[in-house]
Amino acid sequence: MYMHIHMATARLRIGSASPTPALKLWCCLLSSQDRVQYPGSATCPSSIFSRVKLNIASKGSAPAPSAYVAVAFPSLCLRRPLRVLRSDVDKRKSSDVNKWRSSDKDKDKRKPRGRGARAANRGPVAERMMEVDNDKVQSAPMAATSDALIPEDALFLGFDSSTQSLKATVLDARLRLVHSESIQFDAALPKYATQGGVHRVTAPTLMWVEALDLLMEKLRDSGCPLDSVRAISGSGQQHGSVYWARGARSILQSLNSSEGLGTQLRNAFAINDSPIWMDSSTHKQCNAIEDAVGGPEALAVLTGSRAHERFTASQIRKIYETRRVEYDNCERISLISSFMASLLIGDYASIDHGDGGGMNLMDLKAKAWSEVVLKAVAPALEDKLGPLAAPFSVAGPIHPYFVER
């Protein structure tokens, strides 16, 4: 069976309850003609959702009809239960998206945050952010016109790779909870001697690798029918970065199911402890990056914010300045989200626009790495980061390692 995978740092709130990992990315199953409605409010067309085409096939049989998974934009906040309306019941045009979004903006104009005229007077950074937001709405894809078939017995697996644990949640085709398991890093992997999943401001990369193996084994041993899983999605803690050593890609591609991930990937990392969101030791590097691009406001116009100590750009510059040998030996830099996806597909997974926008490295308007900022951070950085991917695009089929185990 082939399963397509995507990891991102999307965050959704559903009421006051803490959402499950699968719902954080909301891998809900909508057919290509569905519309989504908030009870008690206007219908929001599904064109605000990105569409991911999944090829579903079983061994020894012809490929099944294509299916679609719709995932909400990371900025969408779900506060009420959703219900799906067929297009023959509710046929609204894509312009409804703009009406829905503009009504929120009008509300913001009526109630400006801040003090007096300063709140109403948007600076160049805010104007640039609004342009990006408007472009996202205008370019939202229209829903496809053909029906998509989703098997009633299909299951969908969501991961949440947080600071202290790795959690898996399995949902069925009606978004009902089927099973859930988690690995607490401190308790399950005491050999790494972490407290709250970290050493101080770093976390051992191999600990995350071994945790994925343990979690998949728990799911298998629980009797969860993993052969019914049709797609995998997930979320990862923000800002953490992973540094793959030269030759790691070939190791990923040739994973052997007779050995554990930890054993096979022991030498796959140029830096063994990954800096995470807790590291704020890069004030000097932040100043240098801002100075190189023309100041904090110029950087914010490009990337969405001034330089932040915890963001990936300053962390990479610090590694380049203080650990040149390790930086030169690095073949690919992943965020934790794309790192987890890389493990699952057995190849380097791209960082998506949502994650890239939180690194101080991506030009938000162009949705591409900013050459100006890259030069300010470290040499040959674009090659190490790899290409960006559209949000919720398919990362690839799951590696046979996981199928065989």
Positions of the chain with pLDDT lower than 50, given as ranges: 1-120, 129, 132-133, 135-147
Tally the C-alpha atoms within 13 A of residue 173's C-alpha that lie toward its C-beta: 13
Q: Would you list the domain boundaries of the chain?
A: 64-75+151-402
Q: Rounded to whole angstroms, how far apart are CA atoms 346 and 350? A: 12
Nearest of 51, 25, 137 to residue 394 by alpha carbon: 51
Around Cβ 302, how many Cβ atoms within 10 Å? 22
CB 47 within 8 A of CB 34: no
- Helices 283-293, 296-303: axis angle to 10 degrees equals 80
- Structure confidence at residue 152 (pLDDT): 86
As a whole number of angstroms, the distance between CA 168 and CA 233 comes to 10
CA dihedral of residues 18, 22, 24, 26 (deg, nearest 10): -120
Smallest Cα–Cα separation from 159: which of 201, 214, 81, 225?
214
| Residue 218 confidence (pLDDT) | 96
Which pLDDT value is given to residue 344? 97
Separation CA 4–CA 229 (nearest Å): 10
DSSP label at 398? P
Residue identified by tokens 């890239």 is 356
Question: For residue 131, what pLDDT is reported?
Answer: 53
DSSP conformational letter for 19: P
pLDDT for the residue 59: 34
Whole-number Å distance between alpha carbons of 325 and 321? 10
- Contacts of residue 233, defined as CB under 8 A and 6 or more positions apart, other chains included, come to 5, 6, 7, 8, 22, 25, 27, 69, 71, 156, 157, 158, 159
Encoded tokens for 124: 């160049």
Q: Please report the pLDDT score of residue 364 as a whole number.
A: 95
pLDDT of 148: 57
CA distance 198 to 276: 9
Give the CATH number of domain 64-75+151-402: 3.30.420.40
